[in-house]
Amino acid sequence: MARWRAYHTPATVSEALSLLHEHRDKARIIAGGTDLILDMEANQAAAPEALVDVTRITGIDRIAQEDDWIVLGAGITHTQIESSPLLRAHARCLTESCGVIGGPQVRNVATLGGNVAHALPAADGTIGLLALEAEVEVAAHSARGARHTWQPLLSIFAGPGRNRLAPDQMLHAFRFRPTQARAGNAFDRIMRPQGVALPVLGIAARVRLDAALRRVEDAVIAIGPAGPTPFRATSAEEALTSAKAFDAAAVEDAIAAAQAQASLRSSKYRASQAYRHEMIGVLLRRVLHTSVERARMNEAPAGPAGA
Ligand SMILES: Cc1cc2nc3c(=O)[nH]c(=O)nc-3n(C[C@H](O)[C@H](O)[C@H](O)COP(=O)(O)OP(=O)(O)OC[C@H]3O[C@@H](n4cnc5c(N)ncnc54)[C@H](O)[C@@H]3O)c2cc1C
C-alpha cells in the first residue's frame, strides 16, 4: 500500500510553501527522510497525503560567507558539513557533531534542517549549532510569496519531537558569526555502540579568551539531552566567565553549575540519570579544554577558506 499519494519536488521556496499551503496539514516536508520515513513506519495511521521534497530547491545546500555571517542552507547534508574547509575553520563543534551522526550512508542524505526540525533535544547537529549561537531562517507562505524571518535557534523548539513551525512554514537556512581571534569551539559525545540513533549525552562549547589568553571572556555551552528542548547551560557559562583564570577550579565550578541546572532523565534504551550526571563532568572537561586549546592557537581570526 502506498504510504503517500503525491511526491513533489519543488525548485523554489515559494513553490514548496504553496504546495504545503494547498495541502494544509496533510502534507509533510521530506529532506533526507532518515527520521521521517521511520516516523511514518511507526505511525501509519497518520500517513500524509503528500510529501514535499525540499532538497531540489536551488541554494538549499549552500555554504557561504556573506558579510559577517556564515550561512548554511537547511538542506545541507552532514557529509557536506563535515568536509567543508570553511566550517572546519570556523565551526569545529558543528563539523564534529555532524561528523558522528549515523554512518556514512545516513550522513550522505540526512540534512541539518531535518536534524533541527525533528526537534529532539539530543540531536547532534542541533547541539553544535546551538553552541555557535546560530539563528534560523524560517520561510512562511504568504499571498505575496515567501516571507523570510531570522530568529534565534531555540525559538523554534516546543518540546521533544515538536517544533513551532506552522504546516506551511519551512526552515530555509542557518547562520552564525565566524570565529573571532582567541576563540575556539569543540563537540564531544557519548554514544552506545549500537542500536540507537541518538547519543547518551552530547556537549558543544565555544569560548573566547582575554588578550592575555588566561581568562574566558565569553562562553556558550550546549548540552543534549538535558531537558525537553536543546539546552544551554547558562549557569556554567557564567561560572566560567566570572572566574579569574581558566584553571581546574573554574572548570569544576562550571561542571557543578551545569549539573545543577540540567534536567536529566533516565531513558530505557540509552542511560540512567545518574550516569548522565557523571558524564556532564567527563564531556564538559574535555570540550572546554579542547576549545581553550584551539582558542590559544587562534590568536588571529580564522582567515577565509573555500566552502
Ligand atoms: C541509522 C540512523 C542513525 C542516526 N544517528 C543519528 C545520530 O547519531 N545523531 C543524530 O542527531 N541523529 C541521528 N539520526 C537521525 C537523523 O539521521 C538526523 O536527525 C537527520 O539529520 C535528519 O535529517 P533528514 O534530512 O533525514 O530529515 P527528514 O527525515 O527528511 O525529516 C525529519 C523531520 O524534519 C522535517 N523537515 C525536514 N527538513 C525540513 C525543513 N527544511 N523545514 C522544516 N521541516 C523539515 C520533516 O518534515 C520531518 O518531520 C540517525 C538516523 C538513522 C536512521
* Average of per-residue pLDDT across 283-288: 98
Query: Are residues 234 and 249 located together in one domain of the fold?
Result: yes
Ligand 1 mean position, distance from CA 39 (Å) = 10
Per residue in 125-151, pLDDT tens? 999 999 999 999 999 999 888 999 999
3-state secondary structure of 66: strand
**268 pLDDT band (50/70/90 cuts)?**
confident
Q: What is the pLDDT averaged over residues 178-195?
A: 90
Counting Cβ atoms within 10 Å, is residue 1 exposed (0-12), middle (13-18) or buried (19+)?
Answer: exposed
Residue 166 DSSP one-character state: -
Same domain, 82 and 154: yes
Is residue 283 situated within a structural domain? yes
> 198 CB under 6 A from ligand 1?
yes
Question: Ligand 1 atom 28: the closest Cα is on which residue?
Answer: 33
Residue 1 lies in a domain: no
Query: What do you get for the CA distance between the two ends of the chain, in Å?
Result: 43
Residue 195: the pLDDT is 62
Atom of ligand 1 nearest to the CA of 74: 41
Cβ 123 under 6 angstroms from ligand 1: yes
Rounded to whole angstroms, how far apart are CA atoms 219 and 74?
26
Q: What is the DSSP string of 209-252?
A: E-TTS-SEEEEEEEEESSSSS-EE-HHHHHHHHHSSSSSHHHHH
* pLDDT band at residue 165 using 50, 70 and 90 as cut-offs: very high
Ligand 1 atom with least separation from CA of 54: 41
Taking residues 289-299, report their average pLDDT: 94
Q: Is residue 306 part of a domain?
A: no
What are the grid coordinates assigned to 220, written together?
A: 556558550
- Summarize the confidence of residues 217-227 as an average pLDDT: 97
Using the 3D structure, point to which of 128, 148, 176 is the last residue of a domain. 176
Residue span of the structural domain in which 199 resides? 183-297
Give the integer Cα–Cα distance in Å for 133 and 93: 12
**pLDDT at residue 46, as a whole number:** 73
Q: Which comes out higher in pLDDT, residue 306 or 172?
A: 172
Q: Is residue 307 part of a domain?
A: no
Residues 27 and 72 in one domain: no
Could you check whether the bond before residue 10 is cis, i.e. omega within 30 degrees of 0? no
Does the global pTM surpass 0.85? yes
CATH number of the domain enclosing 82: 3.30.465.10
The response to whether residue 111 sits with its C-beta less than 6 Å from ligand 1 reads yes
Would you say residue 256 lies in a domain?
Answer: yes
Instruction: Indicate whether 110 and 130 sit together in one domain.
Output: yes
pLDDT at 307: 66
pLDDT in tens, 52-111: 999 999 999 999 999 899 999 999 999 999 999 999 999 999 999 999 999 999 999 999
Asked if residue 191 is part of any domain, the answer here is yes
Total tally of structural domains belonging to the chain:
3
The Å distance, Cα 120 to ligand 1 centre, comes to 10
The mean pLDDT value for 153-171 works out to 97
Which of 270, 274, 277, 275 is closest to 255 using CA atoms?
Answer: 277
- Same domain (yes/no): 49, 67: no
300 against 265, higher pLDDT: 265
Contact 188, 202 (CB under 8 A): yes
> Model confidence at 303, in pLDDT bands (50, 70, 90)?
low
- How large a percentage of the chain has pLDDT more than 70? 95
The CB of 27 under 6 Å from ligand 1? The reply is no
The response to whether residue 124 sits with its C-beta less than 6 Å from ligand 1 reads yes
**For the residues 232-257, what does the mean pLDDT come to?**
98
- Residue 30 Cβ contacting ligand 1 at under 6 Å: yes
pLDDT band at 1 (very low <50, low <70, confident <90, very high): low
Same domain assignment for residues 35 and 133? no
Q: Residue 199: give its domain's CATH number.
A: 3.30.390.50
87 lines ligand 1 (CB under 6 A): no
How many of the other CB atoms lie within 10 Å of CB of 22? 14
Residue 297 in contact with residue 186, Cβ under 8 Å? no
As a whole number of angstroms, the distance between CA 158 and CA 172 comes to 19
Residues 148 and 172 in one domain: yes
CATH number, domain of 26, equals 3.30.43.10
- Ligand 1: nearest atom to the Cα of 123: 11
Selection from 76, 51, 241 nearest residue 173 by Cα: 76
Q: Are residues 146 and 202 in the same domain?
A: no
Tell me the CA–centroid distance for residue 249 and ligand 1, in Å.
Answer: 39
pLDDT of residue 301: 58
Q: Is 93 exposed, middle or buried (0-12, 13-18, 19+ CB in 10 A)?
A: buried
* Domain annotation covers residue 14: yes
Q: How far is the CA of 209 from the centre of ligand 1 (A)?
A: 35
Phi, psi angle pair for 210, to nearest 5°: -75, 175
C-alpha cell at 139: 520561510
Mean pLDDT of 269-278: 93
